[in-house]
Amino acid sequence: MQFFKTAIAAALATVAFSASAMTPIQDAELSTVSGQDGVSIAANLNIKINSFTYTDTDALDANGMGGGSVSFNGIKVNGLIAANIDILSKASFLAAAGAAGVTNPGTFYNPATGGDVVQIAIPQSVVADGHYLNVSVDSIKMGNNAASFGSVAMNQIDMRGTTVWIFAH
């Protein structure tokens, strides 16, 4: 009886595996398949940078001027960003670049031999009210001085409508 149950289980497993086997599809058949194209990406950014320091390496002049540094401390970037990723044909890319105001794409893309282009776009229709990007700097200090000039903040940075193109050349 145990042998009989094992044989049935093995037969059912074989049927299940063969039913889900992948089969090749020819180009002609593939052209009739439709579905969703592109990829969407959404991220809630929370980036922290301890400090950004600019250092002037000029030698001191006769008046003791030159050299020194300024540091921006406690830099934070946070907020919502969402993007769509699509592959554009050469013709679609040239049309999109023209619509974006690019008058001579030949300066960075070869319109005669260029291929497909990856487009990353932050759509206009993203509803992100109250969740736009924010950038802040906690303190701005000169040299090794503990005193701060204050802080800086850029709030509600709206990047909707931004498009980035990536291509090989």
* 61-80: b (≥16 Cβ within 10 Å) or e: eeeeeeeeeebbbebebebb
Res. 18 pLDDT band, cuts 50 70 90: very low
Q: Flag the least confident range among 21-35, 114-128, 138-152.
A: 21-35
Q: What is the pTM of this model?
A: 0.52
Contacts of 110 (CB under 8 A, 6+ apart): 169
pLDDT, mean over the chain = 77
**Percent residues over pLDDT 70 in the chain:** 72
